Structure 1
């Protein structure tokens, strides 16, 4: 190795360039070994002093030692800088920003469908109804036969109903079986609402294979269609918070006679917008089916139709939730989107 002042300067400049690139303690230690280790550049220069004339050794030795001290000082300074940077980074990670919202799991809340269900139930509780519940896995008698649905009825088709393999059980297609069970258990007079999940083999923007129903049953003496209509008009007005126009159309259900369907004026346009996406320009929205309880259903429930009569009705809670929250796709209610619980979706 050639010992000259220019060589010492070149080594120092080369070291300083490499020092700038050392971004961690490990790289800095490697640099220390390369220049100051037993086989390092500066150490080899010190070992080569014996090759110089005797009168040049003191001057060159001092220059090399000065280089060694400078390198050690620069390494020490850079090491402290790296330590400070690491500590600062850790402090930022551990710091608590009091301007940020608190972390952790937020408070839970009711799903929109459940909120609507509770609201509907409260309305009927105010009318003197009680809540009745029943199993979601039903048998043929309670789900079909007791409700005057004969074996040849299309509702019993495999394409409409979920049957449990290897048994005669099925997932209930409506909450009407709860009405039969309640009549058999409590007799008459009876005034109940039956909320819960029901299952049908159907899935599209307005249908789900699992959805929620709220059905009602009133059995007493001298019950009329006028009682039914008055009850439902009051109910609908309460649900949407204002009086709405309504109409009743003749329909058919095996478990009621006569049977009706109830329409209400469009809650979005009140029938004034031909391009309304809610009512499709008709001005009306179908909300529920209803009717006077068929005598065969009363008999299946152990009630004498010569003494008692009554009315029943049913609606989809998900459908009401869609109308209240302005949704156009039923599947959004079952997407698991947290926005439904925070109001972000509406």
Structure 2
């Protein structure tokens, strides 16, 4: 059920901040900042500062050249990888290369994250004992999550090892890569309040089930929708699969469009050339943003009159549509979009 917050009065050229980004309101108006609380969730997208994660870009933790290049790629989230891209013989060296990269200051607004080795791999403890000494680590990607215990183990390590000032700052991102992980999805999404997002790892999932990956991606439809549904139910972001055709912009754009339609908030990237396409694709369409602003303004105007549902351009607007509009505006803010000046033409449901 939707629960309303107080009014947010906005004046011309006022600057607001969402997550790590700011945006400017260009019109003189006031509109209600909505805060929703799902009956099945203690936190959700509307009650936390949303960090944009349109492109989640992996950087091999043992490759000095790629680490240095990652500073300027412009991805919302840069993930230094200690898992699949690093051989066992280089993991020790990679840990220290990664912590040096984390402490570097030339990262702009990108979120700094590390993908550790899977819980139970024998490497995860050493990974955490090193990276949790960083003063700038913002997120940990946990691969091959099978159950709530994997999330809770990492969270306990944060409480035990991380610098005290960092403990509340570090977020967790769970990568779901197996049939068992899918079956345990509800216990995973409710495992720990530090959990921010779910990743769908297509290659590992297909390997686990013996699926043959096709261009249509239909064999992964159930898993992708399960990830999106679970994330939405508990206020988490859902991050879509990697486009393995990293030199084909047309296929990447098609996958981005599909993922956005499915409800994903972003997509994994494995090549710098994918980042710009992904980040643009996962911004709200300007027409959707304009309509969302008009919906929220119309809701505000009618709420002051004690009116619930109202008419906008000949269509009834009720609370599900208002919730959609609030999400669109929230994602636009998080992505740094300029909020356009619009004029609402909403009327009451009786007009």
Larger Rg: 1
RCO comparison, higher one (Cα < 8 Å, 6+): 2
Q: TM-score w.r.t. structure 2 length?
A: 0.24
